[in-house]
Chain A
Amino acid sequence: MRVVWTEVLVIGGGLAGLRTALGVARRGHAVTVLSLIPPKRSHSAAAQGGMQASLGNTLRGAGDNEDVHFEDTVRGSDWGADQQVVRMFVHTAPKAVRELAAWGVPWNRVRAGAHEVVINGARVTLEEPVAAQGLIAARDFGGTKKWRTAFVSDGTGHSMLYTVGDRAIAEGIEVQERVEALALIHDGSRCHGAIVRDLVTGELVAHVAVATCIATGGYGRLYQVTTNAVNSQGIGAAVALDTGVVALGNMEAVQFHPTAIVPAGILVTEGCRGDGGLLRDADGHRFMPDYEPEKKELASRDVVSRRMEEHMRCGKSVKTRHGDHLWLDITLLGPEHIRKRLREVYEICQSFLGIDPTKEWIPVRPAQHYSMGGIRTDPTGHSPHLRGLFACGEAACWDLHGFNRLGGNSVAETVVAGTIVGESIADWCEGEGGAGSVPMGLVREHWAQVKGELEGILGRSGGENATQLMEQMQRVMADHVCVFRSGPVLQLALDELQGLLKRSAQLGVRGTSPGANPELVDAYRVRRMLRLAICVVAGALARTESRGAHFREDFPRRDDRAWLRRTLAFWRGPDDTLPTLDYETLDVTRMELPPGWRGYGGKDHIEHPDTARRAAEVAAIRDGYSAADRHEIQEWLMPYRHLLPPRLRGRNERLDEPFGITS
Chain B
Amino acid sequence: MPGRRLRLHVLRHNPQDPASVPRVETFELTESDGMTLFVALNEIRATLDPSLQFDFVCRAGICGSCGMLVDGRPRLACRTLTRDLGPDITLAPLPVFELIGDLSVNTGKWMRAMAERLETWVHAVDPVDCDRIEQRMDPDRAEQIYELDRCIECGCCVAGCGTARMRPDFVGAVGVNKIARFRLDPRDQRTDTDHYLLIGTDDGVFGCMTLLGCEDVCPKGLPLATQLAFIRRRMAVTALRGPASTS
Contact = CB atoms under 8 A, between A and B. Distances in A.
Interface of A: 37-43, 45-46, 55, 94-99, 101-104, 106-111, 133-137, 152-153, 155, 158-159, 162-163, 166-167, 169-170, 175, 177-178, 200-202, 229-231, 263-264, 266-267, 321-322, 340, 344, 347-348, 351-352, 354, 467, 509-511, 513-519, 650-655, 658-659
B52 to A, nearest CB: 7
Interface of B: 14-17, 33-34, 36, 45-46, 49-53, 55-65, 79, 81, 100-101, 104, 107-109, 111-112, 115-116, 119-122, 124, 128, 130-139, 142-143, 145-146, 149-150, 152-153, 182, 185, 187-188
B58 A45 contact: yes
B245 to A, nearest CB: 25
A495 B109 CA distance: 45
A340 B149 contact: no
Contacts of B111: 38, 40
A109 B133 CA distance: 13
A159 B33 CA distance: 33
B138 A169 contact: no
Nearest to B60: A266
Contacts of A519: 45, 50-51
Q: Is the interface of B mostly helix, strand, loop or mixed?
A: loop
Nearest to B56: A230
B133 A200 contact: no
A103 B46 CA distance: 43
A41 B63 contact: yes
Contact of A159 (B50, B52, B149): B149
A200 B60 CA distance: 24
- Identify whether the interface residues of A are mostly helix, strand, loop, or mixed: loop
A163 B120 CA distance: 9
Given A38-B107, A99-B130, A515-B17, A169 B116 contact: yes
A169 B51 CA distance: 33
A170 B16 contact: no
Contacts of A267: 60
Given A109-B139, A111-B139, A202-B16, A46 B60 contact: yes
Given A351-B79, A514-B17, A229 B136 contact: no
Contacts of A55: 134
Nearest to A348: B60
A194 B85 CA distance: 45
B46 A467 contact: yes
B101 A108 contact: no
Contact of B138 (A99, A109, A163, A230): A109
Nearest to A354: B81
Contact of A162 (B49, B59, B149): B149
* Most interface-central of B14, B36, B57, B64 (chain A CB within 10 A): B57
A517 B100 CA distance: 12
Contact of A177 (B63, B108, B132, B142): B108
Given A134-B139, A158-B62, A518-B50, A37 B101 contact: no
Contact of A518 (B52, B63, B120): B52
Contacts of A133: 136
A108 B130 CA distance: 18
Given A98-B130, A200-B100, A518-B52, A46 B63 contact: yes
Given A40-B153, A348-B60, A518-B45, A166 B121 contact: yes
Contacts of A352: 34, 36, 60, 79
Which are the 10 A-B pairs with shortest beta-carbon distances? Answer: A515-B16, A38-B108, A134-B136, A519-B50, A102-B128, A106-B145, A95-B130, A109-B139, A104-B122, A166-B121
Given A351-B61, A467-B50, 17 more contacts: A40-B111, A96-B130, A98-B132, A99-B130, A106-B149, A153-B146, A162-B149, A178-B100, A200-B101, A231-B57, A510-B50, A516-B53, A516-B100, A516-B101, A517-B51, A519-B45, A655-B133
Given A40-B153, A650-B131, A513 B17 contact: yes
B55 A37 contact: yes
B134 A136 contact: yes
A102 B119 contact: no
A37 B108 contact: yes
Contacts of B136: 109, 133-135
B112 A38 contact: yes
A135 B58 contact: no
B3 to A, nearest CB: 13
